[in-house]
């Protein structure tokens, strides 16, 4: 398969998602249940875009998957955010398959059956190290691993097929465990407030003595573990930037053609969106093991610049919307509020600045 064929197959999958949603408005899609949104994604090959062909995937370059997320975000932001959480876990496992004993089973299941992986790392403490975890892992003398604790918010808390969970032993050894939906001891508690992005299914997931298979855990046995975590952090921030840029792009398309015909409006909006998009795609070319160390601070700094840029673009859009359209366009307001939520994903800018000022590594 040529690189052109690979890229085209990825574009086709994004377009297929758009075809599946054709005829339904953004708000109609956002009001679907999480199961319905996941079902739409699973009908496509989107879950397998960046999985190597050896595991049944399309082996799409990271930048093309980022573009696919941006396209999806323009019609259903909740679906795009599901993909963000899925991709940042999958991209890490796909980059270091030998380090994850479960990689072949997991990646094949995703590729063949459209499965989705949730990222259970956050603990609703934006200024805390994202790699901090309070989920306790107890390893018995017989080697049985049980975990207890909770994570919130966890996108796809009810509907994911798998959950990647950060854990720590009583001796302070961190690790990553993969759980399956339906494992005994998995519970959920309502967490997400408001009416934005409800379809992401972002609630608290609780682990009550959940048994984890020993070959579905990776422990921090050497410095490579930090590399895996940082690879996921880099991918996560690139994907959320792509998603929120796609949502802001959709917001810009609600301006009247007459307004966009003015260079004074067109340049800051379209120029700003292009800058956000291509800066993410450009740095994605450098995502490889040897570069992760310097990529972490640069990608985070880029993410905060994109946050600010999208807010400025949003203001420019609404300044030129016209009063009647501003008051009447509920989808525009939904997109605008969704764009604002980029600032609350970990690592927050304040948390990053605090760690930088203390000379701490992320």
Among 241-245, 293-297, 346-350, name the one with the lowest average pLDDT: 346-350
- Mean pLDDT for the stretch of residues 206-235: 95
Residue 7 has pLDDT above 80, yes or no: no
3-class DSSP state for residue 119?
strand
Residue 292 confidence class, pLDDT cut points 50, 70, 90: very high
What digits encode the pLDDT tens for the residues 129-161? 677 888 999 999 888 999 999 999 999 999 999
CA-CA-CA-CA torsion sign (343, 42, 103, 212) = positive
In DSSP notation, 137-198 reads EEE-TT--EEEEEEEEEETTTTT-SEEEEEEEETTS-EEEEEEETT-TTEEEE----SSSSG
238 close to 299: Cβ distance less than 8 angstroms: yes
Per the prediction, the chain carries an average pLDDT of 92
Domains of the chain, start order: 3-116 (1.10.540.10), 120-219 (2.40.110.10), 224-357 (1.20.140)
3-class DSSP state for residue 299?
helix
Task: Supply the Cα-derived Rg of the chain in whole angstroms.
Answer: 20
Q: Give the pLDDT score at 12.
A: 75
3-class DSSP state for residue 136?
strand
Q: Give the pLDDT score at 124.
A: 66
56 close to 64: Cβ distance less than 8 angstroms: no
Residue 354 confidence class, pLDDT cut points 50, 70, 90: low
User: Are β-strands 162-169 and 117-120 bridged in parallel, bridged antiparallel, or unpaired?
Assistant: parallel
Q: Give the pLDDT score at 287.
A: 97
What digits encode the pLDDT tens for the residues 224-251? 999 999 999 999 999 999 999 999 999 9
């Amino acid at each position: 398969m040529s690189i052109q064929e690979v890229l085209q197959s990825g574009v086709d999958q994004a377009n297929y998602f758009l075809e599946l949603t054709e005829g339904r408005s953004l708000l109609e899609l956002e009001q679907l249940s999480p199961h319905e949104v996941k079902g739409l994604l699973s009908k496509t090959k989107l879950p397998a875009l960046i999985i190597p062909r050896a595991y049944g995937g399309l082996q799409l370059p990271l930048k093309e998957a980022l573009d696919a997320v941006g396209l999806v975000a323009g019609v259903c932001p909740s679906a795009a955010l599901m993909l963000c959480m899925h991709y940042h876990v999958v991209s890490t496992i796909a980059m270091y398959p030998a380090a994850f004993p479960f990689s072949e089973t997991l990646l094949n299941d995703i590729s063949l059956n459209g499965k989705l992986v949730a990222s259970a790392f956050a603990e609703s403490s934006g200024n805390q190290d994202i790699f901090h975890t309070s989920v306790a892992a107890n390893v018995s003398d017989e080697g049985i691993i049980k975990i207890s604790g909770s994570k919130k918010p966890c996108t796809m808390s009810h509907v994911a097929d798998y959950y990647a969970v950060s854990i720590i032993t009583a001796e302070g050894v961190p690790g990553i465990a993969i759980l399956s939906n339906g494992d005994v001891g998995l519970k959920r508690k309502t967490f997400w407030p408001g009416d934005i992005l409800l379809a992401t299914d972002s609630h608290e997931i609780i682990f009550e003595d959940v048994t984890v298979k020993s070959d579905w855990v990776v422990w921090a046995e050497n410095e490579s573990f930090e590399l895996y975590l940082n690879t996921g952090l880099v991918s996560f921030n690139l994907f959320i930037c792509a998603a929120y840029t796609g949502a802001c792009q959709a917001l810009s398309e609600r301006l009247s053609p007459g307004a966009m015909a003015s260079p004074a409006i067109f340049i800051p909006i379209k120029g700003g969106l292009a800058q956000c998009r291509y800066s993410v795609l450009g740095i994605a070319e450098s995502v490889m093991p040897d570069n992760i160390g310097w990529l972490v601070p640069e990608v985070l700094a880029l993410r905060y610049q994109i946050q600010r840029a999208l807010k400025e673009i949003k203001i420019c859009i609404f300044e030129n919307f016209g009063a009647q359209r501003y008051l009447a366009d509920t989808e525009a307001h939904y997109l605008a509020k969704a764009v604002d939520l980029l600032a609350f994903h970990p690592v927050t800018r304040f948390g990053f600045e605090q760690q930088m000022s203390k000379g701490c590594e992320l």
